[in-house]
Amino acid sequence: MSNNGGAPYGSDEPTSFGLQPPRPPAGVPHPGSVPHPGNPYAAPTQVVPPQQQSAAQDPGAGRLIAGRYRLLSKLGHGGMGTVWRAKDETVDREVAVKEPRIPDHLPERERANAFERMRREARAAARLDHPSVVNVHDVAVVDGQPWIVMELVQGRSLGAVLQEGTLGAREAARVGLEVLGALEAAHAAGILHRDVKPDNVLLGRHDRVVLTDFGIAQIEGETNLTDTGGFVGSPEYIAPERVLGQRPGPASDLWSLGVVLYAATEGVSPFRRSNTPATLQSVLNATPAAPATAQGPLAEVITGLLQKDPAHRPNAAQTRALLDRAANPPVQAPAPTQVVQLGESGGDGVRVSRKGLFGIAAAFVAVIVAAAGVVVADPFGESEKPDPWAQRSHTNLGVTLSVPKDYKLGKPEADDTDKNWVTYSDLSGAIWVGVEVARKKDDTSGNIKGSAAAQMYADNEEFKSTGEYDLGMPENPTTKTQETQYKGKKSAENTVVYVTNDTQNPRPREVKIFYYRTSEGDMYKVTIAYPGKGDFTERGRDVAKGVIDGLEIKPL
């Protein structure tokens, strides 16, 4: 029952019923943006004074619901509902109000079920007294339809945060502890959430974590609203027993928590596939790779919660103990300082710690090296790359590519006979690297330009007029072209910055493209794409530099 989550633009993004926030036109900036104070995840959020909101922008704004809730502006909308920022004029506070929006073409039974789900959502949340569950203030019935009135939680969904970068192990464990607390409160009240996923976890002000959207919760003793043979929830987070149609229990919600923790540290659910049937098959049969980022107790709890048999998963108490250890690792006592006294004659001398001696030694090394005109590597290893890289040779392309060693090779479709490209990506899919070559001998239409720079400028005109590369690129992105050198020969690079044209979830992206034309006339393009904002941006730029610097082209 989220009501004010964030997005790459920083606009508020509700997640109930898969709602999406209203978006501005491409290229239109957000005026008056300010950050959410106290929220380390928050991107700038659009704040529009009520007097600037217009009914033309949000039809229905200004309407008074149940004689006390004045609708101010839409926070988000979808096929099943709209969430409004509203003013409770009775007690003078802002609230979130969920308006039911049921398509008229639905059969009466399905419409009745949808209304009953909203009532159940309100009842489920209202029964829970926990700081990690949204407070429900009221259910106002308007023309026989329930409008849910709840607290306005300002923050970003974990799903939005993971589009920009993963969480560190300690922060992921802290978030997991809060979600676990909400689930424990729900289970104690006889409620199964059944849709625990990143989009339903809000990261709010003052480190608050809120589990939202009890719209498909199962309340003990109440009738199941799911049609025979169907199930509800997000496939990549659904427990195997639910896929098999077995009766779920608290362990099913804990499975979903395990997938959320995996996604929080790795960037993606380990069961995500290209379509729903394949995803469900992976939930049933696939054994996920051990999380690369999570170590120790966090890795242990993730692995335990993803056991296919619910009887083999850790219970809530065991999960809490492991997460607590991961969130609050023991602090190692600092090594005792060894004091060395220099000088003997009558005075106290000079006392220097061992760390200070290392500093003095390093200074002496620097002085001696400078005097001798010799360059040596950092003796303490501080400049070593944090992530080892690997050389990947592709003889069919005449390319040896340097990429981080954990990047995965992309696989072409079964009917793809084109052998002139290859891709790699990190485990989250947020950063990917592609190499393609256009052969002069196959260029019957004369598309290959006479130089790397000419090809870059020609592609740049395409970017400006139509977008390109099937990356959700709109027309007229920001580009930065430059002519460069590759091993003493002419090359070119273009950096393209844009926001995807996905109307439901626009995201900032950045693409670096390297061009090189061989003496035989073959044109090589190396493309590195990554998020244009967030934790992965600098990482993506580092990868781009490393890939281009390490590129070896040996034409066939």
For residue 280, give the CATH number of its domain: 1.10.510.10
DSSP per-residue string spanning 290-332: PPSS--HHHHHHHHHHT-SSGGGS--HHHHHHHHHHHHSPPPP
326 closest CA partner among 345, 306, 304, 344: 304
- Assess whether 397 and 533 both reside in one domain: yes
pLDDT at 385 over 80: no
Q: What is the mean pLDDT of residues 388-397?
A: 88
Annotated catalytic residue: which of 12, 88, 195, 459? 195
The CATH code of the domain that includes 504 is 3.40.1000.10
On whether 464 is known to bind a ligand per the annotation, the reply is no
DSSP letter at 78 equals -
439 lies in some domain = yes
54 lies in some domain = no
- Assess whether 207 and 80 both reside in one domain: no
Confidence class for position 324, pLDDT limits 50, 70, 90 = very high
User: Among 276, 299, 327, which residue terminates a domain?
Assistant: 327
- Assess whether 493 and 478 both reside in one domain: yes
Structure confidence at residue 38 (pLDDT): 30
- Assess whether 449 and 521 both reside in one domain: yes
pTM, two decimals, is 0.52
Phi, psi of 350 (to 5 degrees): -115, 125
Q: What is the mean pLDDT of residues 305-320?
A: 95
CB-CB contact of 541 with 429 (8 Å): no
356 lies in some domain = no
361 lies in some domain = no
- Assess whether 458 and 394 both reside in one domain: yes
CA 66 to chain centre: 38
- Assess whether 417 and 310 both reside in one domain: no
Percent of the chain with pLDDT over 70: 67
- Assess whether 321 and 417 both reside in one domain: no
Contacts of 555 (CB under 8 A, 6+ apart): 398, 518, 519, 520, 522
- Assess whether 163 and 119 both reside in one domain: no
Q: What is the mean pLDDT of residues 62-75?
A: 90
pLDDT at 309 over 70: yes
The CATH code of the domain that includes 75 is 3.30.200.20
31 lies in some domain = no
Domain extent for 80: 63-151
Cα separation of 60 and 77, whole Å? 13
374: Cα within 13 Å, side-chain hemisphere? 9
337 closest CA partner among 316, 359, 317, 352: 352
* Mean of pLDDT over the chain: 74
User: Among 287, 312, 327, which residue terminates a domain?
Assistant: 327
135 lies in some domain = yes
- Assess whether 511 and 547 both reside in one domain: yes
A 10 A CB-CB count for 273 gives 16
DSSP letter at 383 equals T
- Assess whether 281 and 398 both reside in one domain: no
DSSP3 helix / strand / coil % (the chain, rounded to 5): 30, 25, 45
Structure confidence at residue 139 (pLDDT): 82
- Assess whether 84 and 100 both reside in one domain: yes
User: Among 289, 308, 327, which residue terminates a domain?
Assistant: 327
State the total domains in the chain: 3
- Assess whether 416 and 500 both reside in one domain: yes
Q: What is the mean pLDDT of residues 245-271?
A: 93
293 lies in some domain = yes
CB-CB contact of 258 with 312 (8 Å): no
Side chain identity at residue 433, one-letter code: V
Phi, psi of 138 (to 5 degrees): -165, 160
CB-CB contact of 242 with 196 (8 Å): no
- The answer to whether residue 442 is catalytic is no
Name the least confident of 33-47, 118-132, 231-245, 265-279.
33-47
